[in-house]
């Protein structure tokens, strides 16, 4: 572990999910393939649409409705319905098909297996710290069976009042701090993204840890950046914080 700032033993540790506790790329590739297979089988009029085409429809939807950038589940729902409409299905068929397709996608998207070392680390950390999750994604800790490690999990949504924006916006960080009833220095947040995770939590005055398994440089096109409190390569490195 490499420390860049003064470290104070926290009372709570928060985690990002995707690409922090597991490699998300194969999960999403599998989910996209399962979704595409379902659409081709159940809605054959979509056969002219590739996975890339569906992505383009989703990107077009977010350009027309910028709020969708803060809710990837809603963005996918809107784009699925639009793609079915574009393929010649009625509005009712598109709405019903979207719901069925989302169920297929989310089931595959939550087909996640954590390594034994991550399970061991979370189990040990839970004995010493309060644990929670803040994620921009739509993985569900209840569906893939890790909810028992955490007090709560927060995700962005455009269907709530008030609207909950994605990291690095302060919405979820503020809500987490309210639930924890702790000061910023008492919270350590762990994530892989220099902007969403490190800058987002740093703007709150939280301590933070950047997981960097590939030893890449600390850089991102979304400027500005902030140095993390600590950098490490594996989740089980966090066991050193207990001593």
Determine the Cα–Cα distance for residues 242 and 129; give it in Å rounded to an integer.
9
**In what order do the strands lie in the sheet containing 130-134?**
2-3, 230-232, 207-211, 187-191, 12-15, 130-134, 153-154
Query: Is 140 in the active site?
Result: no
Give CA–CA dist 93/95, Å, rounded: 6
Catalytic residue among 16, 140, 192, 197: 16
Token pair, residue 23, equals 């490699």
Task: Tell me the sheet residues that pair with 190.
Answer: 15, 209
Mapped onto helix, strand or coil, the DSSP state of residue 5 is coil
For residue 101, how many C-alpha atoms fall within 13 Å in the half-sphere facing its CB? 30
Check if the beta carbon of residue 133 is closer than 8 Å to that of residue 148: no
191, 15 contact by CB (below 8 A): yes
Q: How open is the CA angle 223-228-229, to the nearest 5 degrees? A: 155
- The angle subtended at Cα 221 by Cα 62 and Cα 171, nearest 5°, is 55
Q: Which residues are catalytic?
A: 16
């Amino acid at each position: 572990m490499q420390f860049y700032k003064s470290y104070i033993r926290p009372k709570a540790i928060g985690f990002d999910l995707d690409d922090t506790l597991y490699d998300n790329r194969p999960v999403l590739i599998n989910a996209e393939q399962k979704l595409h297979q379902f659409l081709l089988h159940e809605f054959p009029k979509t056969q002219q649409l590739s996975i890339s085409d569906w992505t383009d429809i989703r990107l077009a939807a977010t350009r027309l409705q910028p709020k969708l950038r803060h809710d990837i589940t809603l963005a996918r729902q809107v784009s699925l319905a639009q793609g079915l409409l574009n393929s010649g299905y009625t509005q009712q068929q598109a709405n019903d098909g979207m719901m069925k397709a989302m169920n297929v996608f989310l089931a595959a998207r939550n087909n996640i297996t954590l390594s034994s070392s991550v399970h061991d680390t979370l189990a040990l950390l839970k004995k010493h710290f309060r644990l929670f999750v803040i994620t921009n994604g739509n993985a569900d800790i209840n569906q893939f069976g890790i909810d028992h490690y955490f007090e709560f999990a927060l995700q962005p949504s455009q269907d709530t009042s008030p609207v909950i924006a994605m990291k690095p916006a302060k919405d979820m960080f503020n809500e987490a701090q309210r639930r924890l009833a702790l000061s910023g220095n008492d919270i350590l947040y762990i994530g892989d993204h220099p902007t969403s995770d490190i800058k987002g939590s740093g703007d709150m005055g939280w301590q933070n840890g950047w997981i960097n398994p590939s030893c890449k440089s600390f850089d991102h096109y979304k400027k500005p950046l902030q140095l993390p409190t600590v950098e490490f390569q594996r989740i089980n490195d966090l066991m050193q914080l207990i001593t």
